[in-house]
Amino acid sequence: MKKIIFYLLVVTTFYNAQNMSQNGFRSLFSDYKAVNLGDAITIIVVESSEASNAAQKSTGRESDIGFGLSGGLDDTALPNVDLDLGSRNDFKGSGSAKTAGMVRTKLSALIDSVLANDLVRIKGSRKIVVNDEEQMITIKGLVRTSDISSDNMVYSYNISEAEIIFQSDGQIKSMQDPGWLTKIFHWLF
């Protein structure tokens, strides 16, 4: 009876055993790090930009033409003739522009492709709709596998060739755009 129980234990152990070739690429001593095709990573987007530009220009041009004639013959005085022409052209212009922006968010992305030089191409997006206001965040770029932390997170400033698109659509955006009549006047003038 003991032999039968022993054989049953051995058979069920082999039957339920885990195939180590499936997990052979994972370390037994560390957490799994996302570096393969289809793995998910979390991107912490911390982007801040500021730019300013100022220009000032002043030009001027002035020209005067004058002509005067006077004279006389014998005792008869001829009428005096004077001709003056003048022209003046002044231009002064100035302009300035200042922009600032900041985006802070977290989103998940998938590894789209694995390159031979220890780089992975990532791609991810998130769509949020609140009160008919739609916000869409899309991110893609290249990440070094060494920049991916052990908890599968990467900062946006570690993404090379990064393309981060933050789009908004809804009632607020439509109120910020000029009306069609204003657009026509701007086009004409």
pLDDT category at 15 given cuts 50, 70, 90 is: low
Average pLDDT of the residues in 42-61: 80
Classify residue 79 by its DSSP letter.
P
Tokens linked to 122: 């990532």
Domain locations along the chain: 64-96, 100-189
The pLDDT of residue 79: 58
Average pLDDT of the residues in 59-71: 61
pLDDT category at 27 given cuts 50, 70, 90 is: low
More confident residue, 165 or 31: 165
pLDDT for residue 24 is more than 60: no
The arrangement of strands across the sheet holding 40-69 comes to 153-155, 40-69, 81-114, 119-130, 133-144, 160-169
More confident residue, 149 or 79: 149
pLDDT category at 103 given cuts 50, 70, 90 is: confident
Among left, alpha and beta (phi > 0; psi -120 to 50; other), residue 73 is: beta
Average pLDDT of the residues in 99-114: 87
pLDDT in tens, 112-151: 999 988 899 999 999 988 888 888 899 999 999 889 888 8
What's the predicted TM-score (pTM) here?
0.54
172's enclosing H/E stretch is helix 171-176
The pLDDT of residue 9: 73
Q: Angle at Cα 61 formed by Cα 56 and Cα 62, nearest 5°?
A: 145
